[in-house]
Amino acid sequence: MLHDARPAPRTGRVSLGMQILLLQIAVLAVSLGVGFGWHISTVDDSLRDEYAQRALAVSRAVADDPDVRILLSQLQGTRLDAAALRSGTLQREAVAVAQRTGVLFVVIANRDGIRVAHPEPDRLGQHVSTDAGDVLSGDDVVDTDRGTLGESVRGKAAVRDADGRVIGFVSTGISTERVRAATWRDIRIVVGLAGVALAIGIVGSGLLARRWRRLTLGLQPDELVDLVGQQRAVLHALADGVLATDETGRLRMINDHGRRLLGVEAPLGTDVDDLGLPDRLRALLRNEQHSPVSATVGDRIVLATSRRIEADHRDLGMLLSVIDRTDVEELTRELGSVRTMSEALRAQRHETANRFHVLAGLLRQGDVDEASDYLAEIAGTRGRAGVAGLDNVQEPHLHAFLDAKATLARERRVQLTLGPQTWVDGDLVDPVAATTVIGNLIDNAVDAAAPALDAEDGRVDVELLGDGSTLWVTVADSGAGIAFDRPDDVFVDGMTSKDGTGIPGGRGMGLALARQLCRRDGGDLTVADSGGGSSDLGGAVFVAEMRHAVSEGVEQ
């Protein structure tokens, strides 16, 4: 697992998370202060108006009472009997209304402003203490005033007789002390709500700052800028391809070499399954693999490893590292061809030495005629390995290559023969690619046909046909056939029945690469028979179509 390599934190400054927290708290405090301050500044006026309207509603209700109108119309003038007023119906009605509604007072006065109902009986028959001109003119009055019962919020409504004339008024008052108490109660509620809102905002800001630290791995902005710049410079300078995905399997980073090696053109954020990667590489992005695994991408061979990235015990995704192995593989194939030729020469040298020993023995014994016949037999052999029909392969690379493969096959007790339709008279456009495909097919066929110690010799049939610029190759063997349930699995990277211990990336790349080389120019490599079918030899049959592989020869 890879762990984060973060730069050392810089001391002596407030972290970005703390700055965000303090800024958010300040913004919340100012916003709440302005909003609730405005509300508090208007709450007294709002409550005064609300209580005044309530008092006016009470006055209107009393003034609209028919009994009040009739009784008040009978109590006009300035000289009224106070004793009669104290025991009068209007006095009892006003007191009862005040008690029911909880107001400070309900006062009823006639057209001359003389009280006919008052909470204090001693003030009955006296002139009201406040100006009543507006209400006696027929207008409703809402105000705050101080009278005999103290300061109060008042609502005054005119009383009219049946003809609509003003015959007096009703004044209802609510103590300003009650208004102030309600105001302070409202302010305390508002301040409490503001405190709760501020506390919630602080908690939310703290959680946001914590999430910010978690997302940025505790790094400050300048540290993030430095780290991103350094990583970008390093990643794009690497000779290896590097690809990183997040924990959800989406592409988060890929350097230029990685795009070139893997053929990835998709933008960042693309799902791994949509990148067009081979199955083997997609599997590495699901499960980390520290040992190199080989895979074919297009016409290239790569070695890849993957590691899971973790930081602060949190899964950050997978990192895929890719190394180009194509050049090494090409050198390996070329060296393999040289080794094949060398081994063929060694086998032929050994065979030639044996022939000279026979010839020398015949001459020492004086059997000149037998020696002459033996020389004629040797000179008449077709091909250095005795491959019948090899003269039909006039392409020099294939001629020498098949002759060498036949020699090596014979050492493993496998007879390599050429099919009757074999004919190639042009030159190979890419000898390395062609010999890679044919060599892989022949080597696998020889391995399959090689007999046990007490078994009969094996056989491999090869047929090559040049059709214009296309080279057709058919290879059949006498082996046991393909062991996989699905024959096409032999073309999957890493699928092999051979031991790959000690080989970087493992075995199982030969046929996969051969198919890639065939498909590069529009051809293909297929399994014509997996074994036990129509093949005369009883083993597997492979057919390769290599387009643009041969330049057409010149007629002789």
What letter represents residue 491's amino acid? F
pLDDT band, residue 503 (cuts 50/70/90): very low
pLDDT for the residue 350: 60
pLDDT for the residue 465: 93
**CA pair distance 514, 144, nearest whole angstrom:** 103
Q: Which one has a higher pLDDT value, 230 or 77?
A: 77
**CA pair distance 410, 391, nearest whole angstrom:** 19
500: pLDDT strictly greater than 50: no
What letter represents residue 219's amino acid? L
pLDDT band, residue 464 (cuts 50/70/90): very high
What is the overall mean pLDDT for the chain?
Answer: 78
Q: Tell me what the mean pLDDT of segment 71-94 comes to.
A: 85
525: pLDDT strictly greater than 90: yes
pLDDT band, residue 475 (cuts 50/70/90): very high
452: pLDDT strictly greater than 70: yes
CB neighbours (10 Å) of residue 426? 17
Contact partners, residue 358, CB within 8 Å, separation at least 6? 374
- Any idea what the Cα angle at residue 440 is, between residues 284 and 306, rounded to 5°? 10
In 3D, which of 193, 196, 197, 147 has the Cα closest to residue 43?
Answer: 193
- pLDDT tens readout for residues 394-433: 888 888 888 888 888 888 889 999 999 999 988 899 888 8
Q: Say what the pTM is.
A: 0.46
Terminal Cα distance for the chain, rounded: 66
CA dist 153 → 132, 256, 330, 345, 436 (Å): 15, 81, 103, 125, 107
The backbone torsions φ and ψ at residue 506, rounded to the nearest 5 degrees and listed phi first, read: 80, 180
314: pLDDT strictly greater than 80: no
pLDDT for the residue 333: 58
Yes or no: say if 116 and 107 are a contact pair by the CB < 8 Å rule.
no
pLDDT for the residue 474: 94
DSSP code of residue 133 = H
- The mean-pLDDT minimum among 14-28, 217-231, 327-341 falls in 327-341
pLDDT for the residue 338: 61
pLDDT for the residue 504: 46
pLDDT band, residue 459 (cuts 50/70/90): very high
pLDDT for the residue 36: 64
**Structure tokens given for 289:** 């693999």
pLDDT band, residue 302 (cuts 50/70/90): confident
pLDDT for the residue 417: 92
pLDDT for the residue 378: 61
pLDDT for the residue 461: 94
- pLDDT tens readout for residues 127-184: 888 888 888 888 888 887 777 777 778 888 999 988 889 889 998 888 877 777 777 7
303: pLDDT strictly greater than 90: no
In 3D, which of 540, 530, 410 has the Cα closest to residue 479?
Answer: 540
**Structure tokens given for 265:** 């053109």
Residue 37's SS3 state is helix
**Structure tokens given for 549:** 């592989």
pLDDT for the residue 312: 67
Beta strand segments in 224-383, E? 241-245, 251-254, 289-297, 300-311, 314-324
CA dist 233 → 227, 228, 230, 252, 255 (Å): 10, 8, 5, 16, 10
